[in-house]
Chains A and B, each alone.
Chain A
Amino acid sequence: MHKAILQYNIAQLKQYTMEKTPPFRRLRGYAFDPSLSLKIDTVSINNICYKIEWEDLDESPSGNGKTVPTGEYIEVIDCDPATGVFYPPVDLNDRYLLAQDGLEPSVSDPQFHQQMVYVVLMTTIKNFEAALGRKIQWSQRYVPKPDDTSKIERSEFVARLRVYPHALRQANAYYDPQKKALLFGYFPAQRSRPELQLPGGNVFTCLSHDIIAHEVTHALLDGLHKRYIEPTHPDTRAFHEAFADMVALFQHFTFPEVLKHQVAKTGGDLAAQNLLGQLAQEFGKAIGGYGSLRDAIGHTDKLTGNWVPHDPDPNEYTTKMEFHDRGAILVAAVFDAFLSIYKQRIKKLLRIATNGSGILPKGDLHPDMVTLLSGYAADTASRVLKICVRALDYCPPIDINFGDYLRAIITADFDMVADDEHNYRIAFIEAFQKRGIYPSGIKSMSVEALTYEQYPEITLRGDDAEIFVDFLRRFKEQVAYLKDREEIHTITQEFIRGGRNAHMGLHSRINVKFLNTEVGKRFAELTGMAYPNTANKCKEMGMDYSTSSHTAKYSVENLWMANRVSPDGKIINDVIITMVQKRGVKASIKDGVFNIDGYYQPSEGDVEGGFIFRGGCTLIFDLDTMDLKYAIKKDINDKLRMERQFRYMNGRFKASASAGYFDEETLTGLSGPFAFMHSHH
């Protein structure tokens, strides 16, 4: 009898203890990457300990109680096709590893590589989720119709991103949007570069924090705005590169240990504070290709040996058309904003430290000073990173350009922090302005002009708009407490298309009846899309007709619920909807003048002299007031934008078409647009 009770109690105890998982998992990794030049003496802080949210890992199918590095978001499978082998998965729950914060960083142990990749990916993913206020999703997989692979039958949920740490033998790493996978390459260390002293002689891109963070950001951005891969504007692809680089860069600066050592070293000229810029560049240089985006930040003066920031040239934005050159301008602008915010914040500290003179006494900095300064730098980096990521929710779903992104940053920040006492927003505006980046259609570069119009004149209350408010209310109820990403995805799809929980999908709610009401008409205007109500009118305008909603076809691309907490404790609940519509436009250029020759329906397929033009919007609804807070649109009737896209696409393709044995279409088609962006520059 006692034995039975004892066993029962033990069982209860076991259950109790098993449910309590630790909040964090600590894993060692490189802050930089092992092959980075050690010119700036960063040995002591190269090995850091990352701290990420604890998640349960999948169990090994061998049933031996071990785990494999597969969690909710990523699946690390160590396949090395060039060598023809797999390297066994690392068991991160092994008790010896748990006791030591993971494996010892080692270039020659593939299992540590898996660990490094896992921890940096999870760090980046969690930073995104914190900024966005919701769980991230990877971009969906298209499944084609069985008889025609060029037509999509449906989209499938992709639960986990595949990660291959040793996939390629080249100095490259990329995100493959078709395979929803990250492929990392490795290559032999170059003999002639003495800085790269590696045991074993290979350089692994999977061991570079910056490269890992950069590549997964492409995947994360693809999951939010999948149309940013389409090169409709010289900025779109450049944006992908620049954004990925920015995330890697600022995430790096959020590790105070990384900065402390360097700040201590300056010992003197605090006013210049260019060390951060110099560091930023060093991070990107190891492999070569990645450094190019940061060359725009500054350079080391050959005579003085000091790092000096580049003078921004407003002409570059109009003249530099190539992805990397253009992306560099954006990275430099955001970094510039970061630096000025940082310098503002440490002003008081400097005053104290120098007794108002601005000149420090010779010798080492006081260690407390070092801690404070690096703390400020890390904190500022964290906030800038958050703003940059959050701004994505305030961007249009298509045809992104740098001006749009600036407005998104300002608006996103305004939404979170009404009173900008540290002038973060001014810092951004100034930095963009210095580089000639001006959003179109606004009258001035003031914060007010740049912020998107808040609560545009439309009231969703009243019978006509009940259909909308009902939608938002139901959505909030269904999704608010869901944690499982697949469930979130399924419910969201129902709300878009219609289903049991949604009652009516968004498509059915935005029907002709709604659009004919006062509210509906205003709504249509704000979305930037067109809703001709007969099949003929649709044909005239070059749009496909939907028999179910009795108007032109459009797609609801995203539907998200975001929960954010502002720095002053305000809780913000938003629903974000993005919608996109397309039309076929026939155009030509005669004697340098752009002409629209007519429209055609996209379902007709390829048409001579025709191209697909898209319009759409990002709508942000305030769940607390049930009002439309922002409507950020790209108008489908905007003829200027049509011209810009046409000129750009024609100029680009003509130039590269006959430039070499492999044309751009072939290279892009092989492994996606990111595979060759890094390798041959």
Chain B
Amino acid sequence: MNNIDSIKVRMYRHGFGDCFLVRFFAGDSLAYKMLIDCGLKHNDSVDGVSIADIVDDIKEEIAVKKGRKNVPHLDVLAVTHEHWDHVSGFKPEKKLFDSFDIDNIWMAWTEDPNDEIAQQINAHLKENIAALTVAKEKLVKETNRKKTTGFYDSEYSGNQMLGISESFNGALGAILEFYGPLGATEVTPSGIKIKDNFRTSIETQKAFDHIKSKLAKNKAAIKYFTPGKIIDVKELPGIRIYVLGPPKNELINKDSPSRGANKEVYFSLSNASMSGFVKGLLKGADGIFDDGSPFQNVEYIDMEKAKKHKFYKDTYFSKENTWRTIEGDWLNMAGSLALQMDSDTNNTSLVLAFEIIETGKILLFPGDAQVGNWLSWHDYIWQVKDGECGKTRDVTATDILNRTVFYKAGHHASHNATLKEKGLELMEDEDLVVFIPEKQDQYNGIPYSELIDRMMEKAKGRVLFSADKNFPPEDALKNKPDSITKKDWDKFKKNIAVTEKYIEYTIN
């Protein structure tokens, strides 16, 4: 079989979410078809380009004849991590992929049910998601209570405070949406309770399970990858696939360092500071003391009873003193919890680099890997052999980054998902092109403007957004940027195809 000499990467334009169809060609013949993620942020949409629409497009491109029917066939479905905007397309109710014939499913080791550490990470994450949901609901309740009791009307800058609280609660909700629509909690007469059948929070887990159970032909077809390896695919001669992340290290159980570069690398499994907070949120509505309570066997007064107790009535609960009450203040920690959870999940992203061996060109797909994940790539050395009788040599992450000609922007171009010094700055190749699957105004801080500026510099203007109205690809392609030669710009434009549903780039 002939070597693969060109790769077409198709980024779909369905909104804020990843869906990439990667096709490998040997000459004109289509040798291998891979889909990396298919998801859309909850409640987001683009007119005329729904997930169903793009799945239809995918079906057309990958149909093969099976007997008398045309069946959509994928050699590989790679799912980078458990966030809704990467897996919503696999929601079992939608049945979008049920007719697909999928040979292999690739996931990170963090999804492996037989891996002990993976299980711990997942359990921890799920607990945090539940806690965060409860925190957000309590915060909303608290804000409403303050509104109705006129608290904001009697405080200096009260209106501003209300706006800030609502903005904070909204941001928490937005982060929770990465985990898909949640049905974790219900409001009971005694307060907010976690649902009894709350196994794992989320639709996301259901989508994931669906992939693993229904879509995989057989269990053996699911592969869990650890970093530092090279995936050997005999159907892809001339291509090498490196696995760079997520990091796997024995120190996962140790408490994460609180400062310094190392802080980012470890999953926060045992971040003790948070666990008291989390336990306080997850306790039953009826119990008072939970695992996070600070004292045992001490005298106490229930807050409800205290309202009738003379001392507290006069000092804490009296009308003149309500401006100094603190019932809701402990919940503000939810912000840190949300950030940590988001970062942890993002750091479980499967990171793949595809190398066209003959030219050395690399295509980098880091999922939503954040700083910690990126930093860990530099801990590995891949050993490669050039040809059957060639010498073995070492390849480092720096080397891989140096030769990257296609970069799918991590986490929709947020500020901490494209490492600077040991990441973007190492992408030295003249032909660098960046694709960003993102839509405007979905999250504060996305896209991060300084990052976009630097990417534009590095890629000499060849940065394309899937669905951001502020950066329409049609406009980007109109004018040649000053920093690029006419020759390179023309070559780039020749290899780009833009339609309403997708942007496709051919690397050869």
Binding site for B on A (CB under 8 A): 60-62, 68, 70, 75, 77, 79-89, 108-110, 141-144, 146, 149-150, 152, 162, 164, 166-171, 176, 178-181, 183, 185-193, 200, 202, 204, 288-289, 292, 658-663, 665-667, 669-671, 675, 679-681
CA distance A436 to B290 in the complex (A): 52
B164 at the interface (CB under 8 A from A): yes
The answer, among A81, A169, A190, A666, for a CB contact under 8 Å with B168, is A666
A187-B280 Cα distance, complex, nearest whole Å: 11
Please, how many angstroms separate the alpha-carbon atoms of A88 and B295 in the complex? 13
- The answer to whether A670 touches B332, judged by C-beta atoms less than 8 angstroms apart, is yes
Q: Which residues of B contact A166 (CB under 8 A)?
A: 294
Distance A181 CA – B322 CA, assembled complex (angstroms): 12
Given A62-B310, A166-B294, 19 extra CB contacts under 8 A: A70-B315, A77-B312, A79-B303, A80-B294, A82-B276, A82-B277, A82-B292, A83-B292, A141-B323, A142-B156, A149-B159, A150-B159, A162-B324, A170-B333, A180-B324, A188-B272, A192-B270, A658-B450, A671-B329
Tell yes or no: B298 within 8 A of A by CB.
yes
* Interfacial chain B residues near A662, Cβ < 8 Å: 168, 171, 335, 339, 444
A168 vs B326: C-alpha distance in the bound complex, in angstroms? 9
Q: Give 1 or 0 for each of B314-347: 1 = CB within 8 Å of chain A CB.
A: 1110000001101111101101101100100000
Contact A143 B168 (CB under 8 A): no
The 8 Å CB contact of A191, one of B154, B272, B301, B310, is B272
With most chain A CB atoms within 10 A of its CB, the pick from B294, B301, B302, B443 is B294
Contact of B338 among A84, A171, A661, A665 (CB under 8 A): A661
Q: State which of A141, A167, A660 has its C-beta within 8 Å of the C-beta of B330.
A: A167
Which of B155, B160, B255 is close to A190, meaning CB atoms less than 8 Å apart? B255
**A660-B339 contact given A192-B254, A202-B294, CB 8 Å threshold:** yes
Q: Are B164 and A670 in contact (CB-based, < 8 A)?
A: yes
Cβ of B312: which chain A residues have Cβ within 8 Å of it?
A: 77, 86
Give Cα A663 to B258, complex, Å.
21
Query: Are A149 and B444 within 8 A (Cβ)?
Result: no
Task: Quote the shortest CB–CB distance from A181 to chain B (angstroms).
Answer: 6
Q: Which residues of A contact B171 (CB under 8 A)?
A: 661-662, 666
Q: Which one of A192, A204, A292, A665 contacts B164 once the chains associate, using CB atoms below 8 Å?
A: A665
Contact with A along B169-183 (1 / 0, CB 8 A): 001001100000000
**Cβ contact of B302, chosen from A81, A85, A109, A176, cutoff 8 A:** A85
CA distance A189 to B276 in the complex (A): 10
B449 within 8 A of A: yes
Does B389 make an interface contact (CB < 8 A)?
no
Could you list some 17 contacts between A and B, CB below 8 A? A60-B311, A61-B314, A77-B315, A79-B303, A81-B328, A83-B294, A141-B323, A142-B156, A144-B155, A149-B158, A168-B330, A169-B276, A186-B294, A188-B275, A193-B255, A202-B276, A662-B168
Q: What 1/0 mask marks residues of chain B from 228 to 272 whose CB sits below 8 Å from any chain A CB? A: 000000000000000000000000011100110000000000101
Query: Within the complex, what minimum Cβ distance (angstroms) separates A413 from chain B?
Result: 36
Determine how close the nearest CB of chain A comes to the CB of B158; give it in whole angstroms.
Answer: 4
Given A68-B311, A77-B316, A660-B415, A671:B339 Cβ within 8 A: no
Report the minimum CB–CB distance from A10 to chain B (whole Å).
32
B120 proximal to A (CB < 8 A): no
Q: What residues of A have a CB within 8 angstroms of the CB of B310 in the complex? A: 61-62
Question: Does B399 reach chain A (CB closer than 8 Å)?
Answer: no
Residues of A within 8 A of B153 (CB): 146, 149
Residues of chain A within 8 A (CB-CB) of B448 are 658-659
Cβ of B296 within 8 Å of any chain A Cβ, yes or no, is yes
Q: Is B45 an interface residue (CB 8 A)?
A: no
A149 touches B445 (CB 8 A): no
B298 touches A183 (CB 8 A): no
Query: Which residues of chain B are near A666, meaning CB under 8 Å?
Result: 164, 167-168, 171
How far does the Cβ of B159 sit from chain A's closest Cβ, in whole Å? 5
- Which residues of chain B come closer than 8 Å to A79, judged between CB atoms? 303, 316, 326
Known: A179-B326, A679-B336. A658 touches B445 (CB 8 A): yes
* B272, A81: Cβ atoms closer than 8 Å: no
Q: Which 9 A-B pairs have the closest CB atoms?
A: A669-B164, A149-B158, A142-B156, A82-B280, A85-B300, A190-B272, A171-B273, A192-B255, A61-B310
- Min CB distance A182 to B, Å, is 11
A253 vs B445: C-alpha distance in the bound complex, in angstroms?
45
B471 interface hit (Cβ, 8 Å): no
Closest CB of chain A to B142's CB: distance in Å? 10
Interface range on chain B: under 10, 10 to 19, 20 to 34, or 35 or more?
35 or more
Which residue in B276, B301, B314, B316 is a CB contact (below 8 Å) of A188? B276
Contacts of A191 in B (CB 8 A): 255, 270, 272
Distance A204 CA – B295 CA, assembled complex (angstroms): 11
Measured between beta carbons, the chain A residues less than 8 angstroms from B258 are 288-289, 681
Complex Cα distance A156/B159, Å? 20
Looking at the complex, which one of A663, A675, A681 makes contact with B259 (CB distance below 8 Å)? A681
Contact in complex: A81, B326 (CB < 8 Å): yes
| Chain A residue at minimum C-beta to C-beta distance from B280 | A82
Whether B289 sits at the interface, judged by CB under 8 Å, is yes
- In the assembled complex, which residues on chain B have CB atoms less than 8 Å from the CB atom of A680? 336
B200 at the interface (CB under 8 A from A): no
Is B47 close to A, CB under 8 A?
A: no
Closest to A659 in B: B415
Q: Which residue of B lies closest to A161 (CB)?
A: B324
Q: Give CA–CA (A44, B328) in the complex, Å.
A: 40
Bound Cα distance A168, B330 (Å): 5
The answer on a CB contact under 8 Å between B155 and A149 is yes
Tell me whether A143 and B300 are in contact (CB under 8 A).
no
Query: Bound state CA distance, A171 and B171, in angstroms?
Result: 23
How far is the CB of B167 from the nearest CB of chain A, in Å? 5
CB-CB under 8 A from B274, the residues of chain A are 170
B306 at the interface (CB under 8 A from A): yes
The CA of A109 and the CA of B314, in the complex, are separated in Å by: 25
| A61 (CB) vs chain B CBs: closest residue | B310
User: Which one, B167, B273, B314, B326, contacts A170 given CB within 8 A?
Assistant: B273
Q: Which residues of B contact A179 (CB under 8 A)?
A: 323-324, 326
Among residues of B, the one whose C-beta sits closest to the C-beta of A180 is B324
Complex: how many Å from CA A178 to CA B329?
A: 12
- Nearest Cβ on chain A to B418's Cβ, whole angstroms: 13
Tell me if B339 and A661 are in contact (CB < 8 A): yes
Do B288 and A85 touch (CB < 8 A)?
Answer: yes
Residues of chain B lying within 8 A (CB to CB) of residue A192: 253-255, 270
Q: Is B157 an interface residue (CB 8 A)?
A: yes
- List of B residues within 8 angstroms of A169 by Cβ: 276-277, 280, 292, 330, 333
Q: Which residues of A contact B276 (CB under 8 A)?
A: 82, 169-170, 186-188, 202
- Does the CB pair A168–B311 fall under 8 Å? no
Instruction: Assess whether B294 is in contact with A670, with CB atoms less than 8 Å apart.
Output: no
A670 CB to nearest chain B CB (Å)? 5
Please measure, in the bound complex, the distance between the C-alpha atom of A166 and the C-alpha atom of B280, giving whole angstroms.
13
Shortest Cβ distance from A547 into chain B, in angstroms? 24
| Interface flag for B161 (CB, 8 Å) | yes
Within 8 A of A (CB), among B377-404: none
- The answer to whether B157 and A144 have CB atoms under 8 Å apart is yes
Contacts of A189 in B (CB 8 A): 272
> What's the Cα separation between A144 and B284 when bound, in Å?
39
Q: Kindly state whether residue B485 has any CB partner on chain A within 8 Å.
A: no
CA distance A140 to B165 in the complex (A): 24
Among B171, B296, B335, B448, max chain A CB count under 10 A is at: B335
Residue of chain B at shortest CB distance from A152: B156
Residue of A nearest to B443 (CB): A661
Interface mask (B135-156 → A, CB under 8 Å = 1, otherwise 0): 0000000000000000011111
Q: In the complex, what residues of A have CB within 8 A of residue B196's CB?
A: none
Chain B residues within an 8 Å CB radius of A60: 311
A681 to B260, CA, bound (A): 9
Tell me how far the C-beta of B296 lies from the nearest C-beta in chain A, rounded to whole angstroms: 7
Check A86–B301 contact: CB distance below 8 A.
yes
Q: What separation, in Å, do the CA atoms of A372 and B303 have in the docked complex?
A: 52
A569 to B175, CA, bound (A): 64
**A142, B168: Cα distance in complex, Å:** 24
**In the complex, what's the smallest C-beta–C-beta distance from B330 to chain A, in angstroms?**
5
- Docked pose: A80 CA to B416 CA in angstroms: 35
